[in-house]
Structure 1
Amino acid sequence: MINEYFFESRDALLAQLQADMLAQVSAVIEQQNAASVLLSGGSTPGPVYEALGHTLDRRVQVALVDDRWVGLDHKGSNEALLRRCFPDHTVVGMKVDEAKPQDAVEEVNNRYRALAQPFALTLLGMGPDGHTASLFPFAEGLDGAMASDAPLCAAITATESEVTGPLVDRMTLTLPAILNTRRLMLLITGEDKLAVYQAAKTANDHKAMPVAAVLQQFDVDVDVYWAK
């Protein structure tokens, strides 16, 4: 089921998203004394992460939904963003020393298998091309990453585009890993992405629009947060 939460302003969206994320993780921590949150990069959720970095229980593990295959000193590093926002938490990254993500799949999966599961929450974004996480349309590695028996993490090499830029090598949660969560949230903003989202709800070709596979599954509800 898809639950839609549409807001008149981005400030209202981010305030509600922050409150909902904190409530979800706090409930899981109270139940089982451990929780992991899987977070996407990008500038839009940045203020939420900064606020949660001061309020989230220190027992919470913070991990990445996906990342570009770059070092922490690169502006495109999602791990660097999370480390800035959550300085007092354990942040589990995806980038390791291997030159290509395809050479690091086993090591990264070992890291992720150690996280508390199912994840307390997973926050996704979506691109204007219909990608989510680093599940890019027709990318090298996409079939394996969307397979029902996929491990938690997979290497992806996307086709370079205006959306990817030159950084096409990625590590990402697979589709089964995205669904391995107690609460799944999708954050989108702008009329253009709203149109992509609406189309994805009924899209037939999931390889062309991978976010459709998330929206059309029945394993876990998807809470969609949108504002102009």
Structure 2
Amino acid sequence: MQSTLPQPARRVALPALPGTPSAREHLWRTCWRPYWTWSDAPAPELATADAPLPEQIGLAGQAVITGIDRIRRNLWLSHAAVYICRGIWLGLLVAAALMLIDLLGGPVFNPQAAGGLGALLLVGGAILAALSKPGRRRTAQMLDRSCQLHERLATALDDLGVGVPEPGVRAPLVYLQMADAANAVAMLRADHRLRPALPVRELALIVIFALLLTVLAFARGLGGGLPAL
């Protein structure tokens, strides 16, 4: 029985599941593509309800569920931060592009229109953040793949409620495997790579585009009748 988990060289993420996505899933990902392309967050999956839990899952089964739920909540927070920050800098980028077009002799920059577009992009990021919580099974499958757990967590979810021993009765093999999965989840919960993380790249882009917008505003002569440079 494996007692230690392999340590991947980089932060554990949730890559896309193998297989060809359905037309509905492809449309969903395409609609949100500006928020996840070239980011640390995965392509969003269609939200699905988790299967109801059996009444009796035992202490080991409860430990598996609690651990997976904690990890997927941490991943959700990290991905939600990416989508929201992406919405902010997309709004700044659109405003900077409109102002640059004005400087080049195009249509006059409209602050209200730019602000409205920026607000829509931010709201879109917030909506995607709210809908992007990964399901319990998807989280288990991705952890199995990323950490080379050989389907231990996915199998544990399939075996919830099976072989739960009565007090004083020796546990069957299937429940011992559940306990092994619980130990694996406990080790993963202690991994700093699975804790909520700030989207450093997205925050840096917010600063860059905010500075760019400020420079363009001064060049255009916005605010207080500043002369154009």
The structure whose RCO (Cα within 8 Å, separation 6+) is larger is 2
TM-score w.r.t. length of structure 2: 0.21
Which of these two proteins has the greater Rg computed from alpha carbons? Answer: 2
> Which structure has the highest strand share of the two?
1
> Which structure has the highest helix share of the two?
2
TM-score w.r.t. length of structure 1: 0.21
